[in-house]
Structure 1
Protein backbone atom coordinates (compact mmCIF):
# COMPACT_ATOMS: atom_id res chain seq x y z
CA UNK A 1 0.00 0.00 0.00
CA UNK A 2 1.34 3.40 -0.96
CA UNK A 3 2.80 5.34 1.94
CA UNK A 4 3.45 2.29 4.11
CA UNK A 5 6.67 0.49 4.89
CA UNK A 6 6.91 -3.30 4.62
CA UNK A 7 6.13 -4.05 8.27
CA UNK A 8 3.44 -1.34 8.37
CA UNK A 9 1.71 -3.01 5.40
CA UNK A 10 1.88 -6.42 7.11
CA UNK A 11 0.43 -4.98 10.32
CA UNK A 12 -2.37 -3.26 8.40
CA UNK A 13 -3.16 -6.57 6.69
CA UNK A 14 -3.64 -8.19 10.11
CA UNK A 15 -5.92 -5.35 11.23
CA UNK A 16 -7.95 -5.45 8.01
CA UNK A 17 -8.54 -9.19 8.40
CA UNK A 18 -9.97 -8.70 11.89
CA UNK A 19 -13.35 -7.29 12.80
CA UNK A 20 -12.14 -6.74 16.38
CA UNK A 21 -9.71 -4.24 17.84
CA UNK A 22 -6.41 -6.03 18.49
CA UNK A 23 -3.67 -5.86 21.08
CA UNK A 24 -0.02 -5.72 20.02
CA UNK A 25 0.35 -9.45 20.85
CA UNK A 26 -2.70 -10.26 18.68
CA UNK A 27 -1.11 -8.41 15.77
CA UNK A 28 2.18 -10.28 16.20
CA UNK A 29 0.31 -13.60 16.32
CA UNK A 30 -1.60 -12.65 13.16
CA UNK A 31 1.47 -11.90 11.03
CA UNK A 32 1.71 -14.39 8.15
CA UNK A 33 5.44 -14.36 7.58
CA UNK A 34 7.86 -16.63 9.43
CA UNK A 35 9.66 -13.90 11.30
CA UNK A 36 8.35 -12.69 14.61
CA UNK A 37 9.33 -9.07 15.17
CA UNK A 38 9.94 -7.86 18.70
CA UNK A 39 6.93 -6.73 20.69
CA UNK A 40 8.36 -3.22 20.97
CA UNK A 41 8.92 -3.07 17.19
CA UNK A 42 5.27 -3.84 16.47
CA UNK A 43 4.18 -1.45 19.23
CA UNK A 44 6.25 1.31 17.57
CA UNK A 45 4.80 0.48 14.14
CA UNK A 46 1.27 0.69 15.54
CA UNK A 47 2.09 4.01 17.22
CA UNK A 48 3.42 5.33 13.90
CA UNK A 49 0.30 4.11 12.08
CA UNK A 50 -1.81 5.91 14.69
CA UNK A 51 0.11 9.15 14.13
CA UNK A 52 -0.42 8.73 10.35
CA UNK A 53 -4.18 8.21 10.94
CA UNK A 54 -4.13 4.66 9.56
CA UNK A 55 -5.38 3.19 12.86
CA UNK A 56 -7.57 4.15 15.79
CA UNK A 57 -6.61 3.04 19.24
CA UNK A 58 -8.45 2.73 22.52
CA UNK A 59 -6.87 2.24 25.90
CA UNK A 60 -8.15 -0.87 27.65
CA UNK A 61 -6.54 -1.28 31.05
CA UNK A 62 -2.83 -0.63 30.63
CA UNK A 63 -2.67 -1.48 26.92
CA UNK A 64 -4.08 -0.16 23.67
CA UNK A 65 -6.30 -2.01 21.26
CA UNK A 66 -5.90 -1.05 17.61
CA UNK A 67 -8.31 -1.08 14.68
CA UNK A 68 -7.94 0.07 11.08
CA UNK A 69 -9.23 3.61 10.60
CA UNK A 70 -10.58 2.77 7.13
CA UNK A 71 -11.14 -0.33 5.08
CA UNK A 72 -8.56 -1.82 2.73
CA UNK A 73 -10.73 -0.69 -0.20
CA UNK A 74 -10.93 2.90 1.07
CA UNK A 75 -7.16 2.98 1.58
CA UNK A 76 -6.57 1.63 -1.93
CA UNK A 77 -8.96 4.22 -3.40
CA UNK A 78 -7.15 6.99 -1.47
CA UNK A 79 -3.81 5.74 -2.82
CA UNK A 80 -5.20 5.71 -6.35
CA UNK A 81 -6.52 9.26 -5.91
CA UNK A 82 -3.11 10.41 -4.65
CA UNK A 83 -1.39 8.71 -7.57
CA UNK A 84 -3.77 10.32 -10.08
CA UNK A 85 -3.23 13.73 -8.50
CA UNK A 86 0.53 13.33 -8.82
CA UNK A 87 0.64 12.34 -12.52
CA UNK A 88 -0.08 15.72 -14.09
CA UNK A 89 -2.42 13.94 -16.54
CA UNK A 90 -5.14 12.10 -14.64
CA UNK A 91 -7.35 12.01 -17.73
CA UNK A 92 -4.72 10.17 -19.73
CA UNK A 93 -4.05 7.74 -16.91
CA UNK A 94 -7.74 7.00 -16.39
CA UNK A 95 -8.35 6.51 -20.11
CA UNK A 96 -5.35 4.18 -20.39
CA UNK A 97 -6.56 2.24 -17.37
CA UNK A 98 -10.16 2.01 -18.65
CA UNK A 99 -8.98 0.68 -22.01
CA UNK A 100 -7.13 -2.13 -20.25
CA UNK A 101 -9.94 -3.30 -17.97
CA UNK A 102 -11.60 -6.68 -18.29
CA UNK A 103 -15.30 -6.92 -19.14
CA UNK A 104 -16.11 -7.54 -15.49
CA UNK A 105 -13.98 -4.59 -14.33
CA UNK A 106 -15.69 -2.36 -16.92
CA UNK A 107 -19.10 -3.39 -15.55
CA UNK A 108 -17.96 -2.58 -12.03
CA UNK A 109 -16.67 0.85 -13.09
CA UNK A 110 -19.93 1.56 -14.92
CA UNK A 111 -21.90 0.56 -11.81
CA UNK A 112 -19.79 2.90 -9.67
CA UNK A 113 -20.41 5.78 -12.07
CA UNK A 114 -24.17 5.10 -12.06
CA UNK A 115 -24.20 5.02 -8.25
CA UNK A 116 -22.19 8.25 -8.16
CA UNK A 117 -24.75 9.90 -10.47
CA UNK A 118 -27.63 8.80 -8.26
CA UNK A 119 -25.84 10.11 -5.16
CA UNK A 120 -25.32 13.56 -6.74
CA UNK A 121 -29.01 13.87 -7.70
CA UNK A 122 -30.16 13.45 -4.09
Structure 2
Protein backbone atom coordinates (compact mmCIF):
# COMPACT_ATOMS: atom_id res chain seq x y z
CA UNK A 1 0.00 0.00 0.00
CA UNK A 2 1.27 3.43 -0.90
CA UNK A 3 1.42 5.93 1.93
CA UNK A 4 -1.20 8.68 1.62
CA UNK A 5 -0.03 11.98 0.18
CA UNK A 6 -0.12 15.14 2.30
CA UNK A 7 -3.56 16.37 1.23
CA UNK A 8 -4.95 12.83 1.09
CA UNK A 9 -3.83 12.37 4.70
CA UNK A 10 -5.39 15.69 5.74
CA UNK A 11 -8.73 14.72 4.21
CA UNK A 12 -8.66 11.24 5.75
CA UNK A 13 -7.60 12.65 9.13
CA UNK A 14 -10.68 14.85 9.27
CA UNK A 15 -13.04 12.06 8.29
CA UNK A 16 -11.42 9.71 10.83
CA UNK A 17 -11.65 12.31 13.60
CA UNK A 18 -15.19 13.38 12.78
CA UNK A 19 -16.42 9.78 12.44
CA UNK A 20 -19.18 10.89 10.08
CA UNK A 21 -19.68 11.64 6.42
CA UNK A 22 -18.73 15.16 5.30
CA UNK A 23 -18.89 17.35 2.23
CA UNK A 24 -15.88 18.77 0.43
CA UNK A 25 -16.99 22.22 1.64
CA UNK A 26 -16.74 21.10 5.29
CA UNK A 27 -13.30 19.62 4.69
CA UNK A 28 -12.03 22.69 2.82
CA UNK A 29 -13.34 25.07 5.48
CA UNK A 30 -11.58 23.07 8.20
CA UNK A 31 -8.26 22.86 6.32
CA UNK A 32 -8.43 26.58 5.51
CA UNK A 33 -8.34 27.33 9.25
CA UNK A 34 -4.60 26.52 9.16
CA UNK A 35 -3.60 26.89 5.50
CA UNK A 36 -5.21 27.82 2.20
CA UNK A 37 -6.36 25.11 -0.15
CA UNK A 38 -8.72 25.48 -3.10
CA UNK A 39 -12.12 23.82 -3.08
CA UNK A 40 -11.45 22.24 -6.48
CA UNK A 41 -8.16 20.77 -5.24
CA UNK A 42 -9.85 19.06 -2.29
CA UNK A 43 -12.70 17.92 -4.54
CA UNK A 44 -10.20 16.34 -6.96
CA UNK A 45 -8.25 14.60 -4.19
CA UNK A 46 -11.46 13.34 -2.55
CA UNK A 47 -12.49 11.90 -5.91
CA UNK A 48 -9.08 10.21 -6.22
CA UNK A 49 -9.49 8.72 -2.72
CA UNK A 50 -12.92 7.47 -3.76
CA UNK A 51 -11.47 5.89 -6.91
CA UNK A 52 -8.71 4.24 -4.83
CA UNK A 53 -11.34 2.75 -2.53
CA UNK A 54 -10.57 4.86 0.52
CA UNK A 55 -13.83 6.82 0.51
CA UNK A 56 -17.49 6.04 -0.07
CA UNK A 57 -19.58 8.82 -1.50
CA UNK A 58 -23.25 9.45 -1.87
CA UNK A 59 -25.37 12.40 -2.92
CA UNK A 60 -26.40 14.85 -0.31
CA UNK A 61 -29.16 17.38 -0.95
CA UNK A 62 -28.40 19.17 -4.18
CA UNK A 63 -25.17 18.56 -6.06
CA UNK A 64 -22.73 17.99 -3.19
CA UNK A 65 -21.25 14.60 -2.36
CA UNK A 66 -20.98 13.23 1.15
CA UNK A 67 -17.69 11.39 1.67
CA UNK A 68 -17.09 8.74 4.32
CA UNK A 69 -13.96 6.74 5.19
CA UNK A 70 -14.07 3.07 4.14
CA UNK A 71 -11.17 1.97 6.36
CA UNK A 72 -10.24 3.13 9.85
CA UNK A 73 -7.04 4.95 10.72
CA UNK A 74 -5.95 1.80 12.56
CA UNK A 75 -6.46 -0.38 9.47
CA UNK A 76 -4.38 2.10 7.47
CA UNK A 77 -1.61 2.05 10.10
CA UNK A 78 -1.62 -1.76 10.19
CA UNK A 79 -1.29 -1.94 6.41
CA UNK A 80 1.68 0.45 6.51
CA UNK A 81 3.37 -1.71 9.15
CA UNK A 82 2.74 -4.83 7.08
CA UNK A 83 4.27 -3.16 4.02
CA UNK A 84 7.29 -2.05 6.04
CA UNK A 85 7.93 -5.61 7.21
CA UNK A 86 7.50 -6.97 3.69
CA UNK A 87 10.04 -4.44 2.40
CA UNK A 88 12.73 -5.87 4.67
CA UNK A 89 15.02 -8.69 3.56
CA UNK A 90 14.76 -10.02 7.13
CA UNK A 91 11.35 -9.19 8.65
CA UNK A 92 12.30 -10.78 11.98
CA UNK A 93 15.28 -8.43 12.40
CA UNK A 94 13.18 -5.44 11.33
CA UNK A 95 10.44 -6.41 13.80
CA UNK A 96 13.02 -6.90 16.56
CA UNK A 97 14.40 -3.38 15.94
CA UNK A 98 10.88 -1.96 15.90
CA UNK A 99 9.88 -3.65 19.16
CA UNK A 100 13.16 -2.57 20.76
CA UNK A 101 12.16 1.07 20.24
CA UNK A 102 8.68 0.64 21.74
CA UNK A 103 7.64 2.18 25.05
CA UNK A 104 6.65 -0.25 27.82
CA UNK A 105 2.94 0.53 27.31
CA UNK A 106 3.29 -0.25 23.59
CA UNK A 107 5.02 -3.56 24.37
CA UNK A 108 2.17 -4.43 26.74
CA UNK A 109 -0.34 -3.59 24.00
CA UNK A 110 1.62 -5.78 21.56
CA UNK A 111 1.58 -8.69 24.03
CA UNK A 112 -2.18 -8.29 24.43
CA UNK A 113 -2.66 -8.20 20.63
CA UNK A 114 -0.56 -11.37 20.25
CA UNK A 115 -2.62 -13.14 22.92
CA UNK A 116 -5.84 -12.14 21.11
CA UNK A 117 -4.43 -13.28 17.75
CA UNK A 118 -3.46 -16.59 19.36
CA UNK A 119 -6.97 -17.07 20.71
CA UNK A 120 -8.46 -16.41 17.25
CA UNK A 121 -6.02 -18.84 15.65
CA UNK A 122 -6.86 -21.53 18.21
CA UNK A 123 -10.61 -20.95 18.03
- The alignment's TM-score, normalised by the length of structure 1, stands at 0.90
Matched, 1:110 2:111: yes
Classify the secondary structure of the residue corresponding to 2:22.
Answer: coil
**Deviation (angstroms), 1:32:** 6.6
Q: 5+ unaligned residues in a row in structure 2: which ranges?
A: none
Aligned partners of 1:68 and 1:46: how far apart in 2?
10
Aligned partners of 1:50 and 1:41: how far apart in 2?
14
Q: 5+ unaligned residues in a row in structure 1: which ranges?
A: none
Classify the secondary structure of the residue corresponding to 1:70.
Answer: coil
Residue aligning to 2:28: 28
Classify the secondary structure of the residue corresponding to 2:76.
Answer: helix
Residue aligning to 2:15: 15
Residue aligning to 2:77: 76
Report the CA distance shift for 1:110/1:32 in structure 2 as closer, same or farther (over 3 A).
Answer: farther
**Deviation (angstroms), 1:100:** 2.1
Aligned partners of 1:31 and 1:59: how far apart in 2?
22
How many residue pairs align between the two structures? Answer: 121
- The alignment's TM-score, normalised by the length of structure 2, stands at 0.89
**Deviation (angstroms), 1:6:** 1.2
